Every structure is written in structure tokens, then in C-alpha cells.
């Protein structure tokens, strides 16, 4: 029988994180939004203490050793471990609390996700262990976007040249819109995973991802953005000038030519998590909109003829439908990753659907609540601003739609642009 429910262990984790988000994150949500570029020390310290105690890993499924329900998957010898499904459920709850604070929490972040996706066992041990052993809070960041290379990641011009005398990679170039870039470079013992090309003539095959650790000479933050939403999280520009890193800091096998495919594999893991974050924002907006609707005498009448519903009822029910459809697509992509099934198509589907749907849900919540939705009295206007980024970063909605079309029709990037 097909089940659309998450396992009991994952549901228990969701409940625990929801309680935490309600008590801790909602308390700081408005202040953090109004004080961009200022860290919420209580939040950072709380999350780092939890990380040191192993609680962040067990909440998110990231590095937890705790076993959960492990059903057999047809055709698979190994049981499914719900690591990605647990992570998706956790990210939804954390983003329900506050998406900006979720992104700002001291943890592996996108940089850590890249290491986990394509790094060797030795690299995972070296770079990820610090998130449970370092004395001070750490962040991991991923640097892809450049001034002239946004959605087309293959067009990046940052170079990584091998100095054969010292056996070091020398990075030169500029990266922009790096989530938690400042925190990773200046405020912690973390690292940045930078995408760079070893050979511009080789095109995509020349691109690899490189780990640049905190304090490496030649890496510096040149700008911190002022943004529409997720303002609790810093977004930085980083410049690499003759930045030397050890040979072993190239993720995966340095000799493999298909470097771009390995780097892009990171998105198969992270896009469902971005979708989960969007779902958390949308759910927060929908739930508050429903509460205000009920407080003002409204009632959702399920099961009656659609023609008898009020306009507000129809909107709220459609918001629920969009949210649930997005969640099921996201859970499927996460479950496939856990089962060891290639999920490139599903990861892009859930990201494309959710980015667009949740932006609509948040916008509709503001619209239905009128002046109250537009006012800072409520967090509704903030959730609308936070929602929009999910249709932009980790591949825009247009790019993910293009990826989906290519997979469905079996066309290459050259054949369908």
C-alpha cells in the first residue's frame, strides 16, 4: 500500500523542533529582521551548544548515529535510513520558526552539504568533524554565483590553477551572494566551498569545487548585502586573490574530468531542503491567516459544493492544496535520496513547484489579511519577503523548470536552452 505519511520517528522529531521554534525562534524573528547584519547571540550560542551535544545532528538527521524506522525498499538490499526525510521535516519546522535564523544557525550549511555529497571519506572526516568538536561556532558556505555567472553555473570564470612546485591550488576570482559567507570567512573556524574552473577551454568538465578554510590568505569578504528577506542570514561577496589551498582540498577525485557533474550533484541533496524551507514559511503564513480568519468569525466549510464557498474559503483551501502538494513532492525527492535512487528530476520538480507555490501562498495570506497583513503588527509581510528567495537561490524557478523539461524529453543543454 502507498503511504503518504512520514515515519513516527520523523514525526516525533518534527514535533520537538516545532516546540523549539515556537519558544526560541519566534521570539527573535522580528528583531533579527529589523537588525540585519547583527547576530542574535542567544540564538547562535543555543544552537552551537546543541550542536556540540549532538542534538542538532539528531534533530536534522545530518550526522546522527541514532537509528530510525528502516523499512525495506523493493530491489534494495540495504534498509532505508530516513536521513534526508528527517532533514526535510526539520528544515520545514525551523523555517516555520524563522527562515533567516535557520540559515544563520552555526552548522554545516551548503558548504557542508557539498562536502557530504561529493567529498571523499577523508574529506568528510576532516571538514565536517569541526561542527561537533570546535570550541566556537562554525559555519559552512558555498560560493557559486559570480557577477557574470548566475543561473548558468557552467559560465563561472573563477580559476583554480595547480602550482606543481608546491602542489597547491591557486584560486583567483570573485563570488557574490554567498549565504553565510561572512560568518564562514570572518566569524568562525568554518570554510567556503568555491566552484572554480581548472581549464576554461574544457567547459563544464573543467569545473570542480574546492574547500577554502577560514583564515586562508587571499580570501576576503568585500561586501555584505542588504536584502528583501531572510535578513537574519548574512549574504556576502568574497574575493579570491592568489588564494592558495592544499591539493587535497579539491572535493572528490581531483583526476576525474567530469567535475561539473559531481559539483552539480550537490543540488540533488540541497534543492529538496530549500523546498522544505519554503514549505515552512508558507505553512507559517497559512496557519496565521487561518487563525485570523477564525478570530473574525470565518469558518472553512469542507465538503460542500464549491459554488457555495466564499472567495476567502476558496483561497484558503487552494493555499492548503498548494502547500500539501509541495510537501509531498519534497518528501518524495528526499526519500529517493535516502533509498539511493537518482533524484535529479524530482529534486528540480519539488524546487520549481515549491518556490512558485509558496510565494503565491505567502502573497495570498497578506492579501486576505488586508492592512493587518501588510503591517509589521504581524509577521505576514515578513514571511512574504522571506518566501521569495526560494524561487531564486539554489537554481531559479526558470532554471529548474528547464532541468525538468530536459529530463522529461531526454534533451541535452545544447538541445534545449
Contacts of 250 by beta carbon, 8 Å cutoff, 6+ apart: 160, 169, 208, 209, 210, 211
Compute φ and ψ for 218, nearest 5 degrees: 100, -5
Residue closest to 14 by CA, chosen among 279, 379, 385 = 279
Compute φ and ψ for 212, nearest 5 degrees: -110, 115
Please state the pTM of the whole predicted model: 0.91
Q: Which fold has domain 108-417?
A: Butyryl-CoA Dehydrogenase, subunit A; domain 2 (2.40.110)
| Positions marked active-site | 394
CA–CA distance, 260 with 195 (Å, rounded to integer): 9
CA–CA distance, 88 with 10 (Å, rounded to integer): 10
Q: Which residue has the cell 561537533?
A: 132
CB-based contact 128:147 (threshold 8 Å): no
CA–CA distance, 407 with 312 (Å, rounded to integer): 38
Q: What is the pLDDT of residue 69?
A: 43
Q: Which residues on adjacent β-strands are paired with residue 149?
A: 146
Cell triple for 98: 524563522
Positive/negative CA dihedral, 183, 185, 189, 191 = positive
Compute φ and ψ for 208, nearest 5 degrees: -135, 165
Q: Which residues on adjacent β-strands are paired with residue 244?
A: 170
Q: What is the pLDDT of residue 66?
A: 34
Q: Which residue has the cell 464557498?
A: 309
169 DSSP assignment: E
80 DSSP assignment: P
Ranges of each domain in the chain: 8-107, 108-417
CB-based contact 298:315 (threshold 8 Å): no
| pLDDT tens by residue, 270-329 | 999 999 999 999 999 999 999 999 999 988 999 999 899 999 999 999 999 999 999 999
417 residues of the chain, pLDDT tens digit each: 467 888 899 999 999 999 999 999 999 999 999 999 999 999 999 999 888 776 665 445 443 333 334 444 555 556 668 899 999 999 999 999 999 999 999 988 889 989 988 899 999 999 998 888 888 999 999 999 999 988 777 789 999 999 999 999 999 999 999 999 999 999 888 999 999 999 888 878 889 999 999 999 999 999 999 999 999 999 999 999 999 999 999 998 776 665 667 667 788 889 999 999 999 999 999 999 999 999 999 889 999 998 999 999 999 999 999 999 999 999 999 999 999 999 999 999 999 999 999 999 999 999 999 999 999 999 999 999 999 999 999 889 999 999 999 999 999 888 998
CA–CA distance, 277 with 383 (Å, rounded to integer): 12
Name the pairing type of β-strands 168-179 and 235-246.
antiparallel
CB-based contact 130:158 (threshold 8 Å): no
- Which segments of 177-256 does DSSP mark as H helices, in order? 181-186
Cell triple for 279: 514549505
Q: What is the pLDDT of residue 255?
A: 67
Residue closest to 190 by CA, chosen among 214, 169, 223 = 214
Residue closest to 110 by CA, chosen among 395, 407, 341 = 395
Helices first, then strands: H and E counts in the chain: 14, 7
CA–CA distance, 30 with 379 (Å, rounded to integer): 7
> What is the Cα gyration radius of the chain?
21
Length of the chain: 417
CA–CA distance, 324 with 355 (Å, rounded to integer): 13
Amino acid at each position: 500500500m502507498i503511504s503518504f505519511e512520514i515515519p513516527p520517528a520523523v514525526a516525533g522529531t518534527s514535533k520537538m523542533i516545532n516546540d523549539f521554534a515556537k519558544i526560541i525562534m519566534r521570539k527573535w524573528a522580528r528583531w533579527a529582521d529589523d537588525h540585519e547584519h547583527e547576530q542574535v547571540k542567544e540564538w547562535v550560542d543555543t544552537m552551537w551548544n546543541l550542536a556540540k551535544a549532538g542534538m542538532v545532528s539528531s534533530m536534522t538527521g545530518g550526522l546522527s548515529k541514532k537509528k530510525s524506522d528502516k523499512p525495506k525498499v523493493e530491489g534494495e538490499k540495504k534498509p532505508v535510513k530516513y536521513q534526508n526525510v528527517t532533514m526535510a521535516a526539520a528544515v520545514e519546522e525551523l523555517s516555520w520558526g524563522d527562515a533567516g535564523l535557520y540559515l544563520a544557525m552555526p552548522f554545516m550549511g551548503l558548504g557542508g552539504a557539498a562536502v557530504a555529497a561529493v567529498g571523499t571519506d577523508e574529506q568528510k572526516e576532516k571538514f565536517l568533524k569541526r561542527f561537533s568538536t570546535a570550541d566556537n561556532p562554525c559555519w559552512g558556505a558555498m560560493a557559486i554565483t559570480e557577477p557574470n555567472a548566475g543561473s548558468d553555473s557552467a559560465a563561472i570564470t573563477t580559476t583554480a590553477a595547480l602550482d606543481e612546485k608546491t602542489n597547491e591550488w591557486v584560486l583567483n576570482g570573485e563570488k557574490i551572494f554567498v549565504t553565510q559567507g561572512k560568518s564562514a570567512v570572518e566569524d568562525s573556524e568554518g570554510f567556503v566551498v568555491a566552484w572554480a574552473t581548472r581549464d576554461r577551454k574544457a567547459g563544464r568538465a573543467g569545473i570542480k569545487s574546492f574547500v577554502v578554510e577560514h583564515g586562508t590568505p587571499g580570501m576576503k569578504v568585500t561586501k555584505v548585502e542588504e536584502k528583501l528577506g531572510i535578513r537574519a542570514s548574512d549574504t556576502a561577496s568574497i574575493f579570491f586573490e592568489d588564494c592558495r589551498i592544499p591539493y587535497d582540498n579539491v572535493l572528490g577525485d581531483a583526476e576525474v574530468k567530469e567535475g561539473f557533474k559531481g559539483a552539480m550533484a550537490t543540488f540533488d541533496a540541497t534543492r529538496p531542503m530549500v523546498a522544505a524551507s519554503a514549505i515552512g514559511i508558507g505553512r507559517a503564513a497559512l496557519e496565521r491567516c487561518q487563525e485570523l480568519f477564525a478570530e473574525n468569525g470565518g469558518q472553512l466549510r469542507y465538503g460542500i459544493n464549491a459554488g457555495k464557498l466564499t472567495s476567502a474559503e476558496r483561497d484558503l483551501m487552494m493555499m492548503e492544496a498548494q502547500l500539501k502538494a509541495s510537501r509531498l513532492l519534497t518528501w518524495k525527492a528526499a526519500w529517493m535520496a535516502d533509498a539511493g535512487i537518482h533524484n535529479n528530476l524530482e529534486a528540480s520538480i519539488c524546487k520549481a513547484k515549491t518556490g512558485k507555490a509558496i510565494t503565491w501562498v505567502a502573497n495570498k495570506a497578506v492579501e486576505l489579511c488586508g492592512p493587518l497583513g501588510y503591517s509589521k503588527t504581524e509577521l505576514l509581510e515578513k514571511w512574504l519577503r522571506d518566501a521569495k528567495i526560494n524561487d531564486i537561490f539554489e537554481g531559479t524557478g526558470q532554471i529548474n523548470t528547464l532541468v525538468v523539461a530536459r529530463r522529461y524529453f531526454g534533451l541535452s543543454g545544447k538541445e534545449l536552452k
